[in-house]
Amino acid sequence: MADPASVPREHKAGAPKRVACLVLTISDSKMAETDTSGQLIRELLTVAGHEVVQSAIVKDEPGQVRDVICRACEDPRVQALILTGGTGIASRDSTFEAVEGMLDKRLPGFGELFRLLSYAEIGAAAMLSRAQAGVRQGRLIFSLPGSPNACRLALEKLILPELGHLLREVSR
């Protein structure tokens, strides 16, 4: 009987080791100096051998979020977008809706796994997260909460272990 883990292992072996990423912070209050989540994401990507080709901060306004995503998806340098902020249920949290409507394909397992892992750390409050992932125009898009702890969890447990593999699959 074949080893069920062999196929993902084979796919990962042929996956890109370096992915070019855009990091977008969505916040009504953060500035470059106070953007701890965006800084953490950039550091974790760089340490893992990926490239941050662009980063930005925009207000939690759907139009601004969509504009950055549209421009990034037209930029041949950008292979993945990692967004942080605006995924909760407060009245100003609109990132989920802005991103959801732009995705060509959704990866519901990302949000499900993120909330499962988050539940182990913070309990039932994990249900407040509307973290999501998907694909638009061949680019991977991850939408994470604004908390540095949530970003670290998502990057270390989900995104970084599979980023090259996901890009390989999306590029086929």
Q: Where are the domains of the chain?
A: 16-170
- Give the strand order in the sheet containing 105-106: 51-58, 20-26, 80-84, 139-144, 132-136, 105-106
> What pLDDT does 14 receive?
80
Indicate the CATH number of 16-170 among 3.40.980.10, 1.10.220.10, 3.30.450.20, 3.30.70.270. Answer: 3.40.980.10
Write down the pTM of the prediction.
0.94
Q: Do 75 and 56 meet the contact criterion of CB atoms below 8 Å apart?
A: no
> What pLDDT does 133 receive?
98
> What pLDDT does 5 receive?
65
**Pairwise CA distance, residues 81 & 75, whole Å:** 11
Q: Which residue has the tokens 């100003």?
A: 92
> What pLDDT does 8 receive?
66
> What pLDDT does 10 receive?
72
Q: Do 50 and 163 meet the contact criterion of CB atoms below 8 Å apart?
A: yes
Sequence-separated contacts (24+) of 14-17 with Cβ below 8 Å: 14/168, 15/164, 15/165, 15/167, 15/168, 16/164, 16/167, 16/168, 17/49, 17/164
Residues of the chain with pLDDT under 50: none
> What pLDDT does 164 receive?
97
Q: Which residue has the tokens 């950055």?
A: 68
> What pLDDT does 12 receive?
74
**Pairwise CA distance, residues 102 & 121, whole Å:** 30
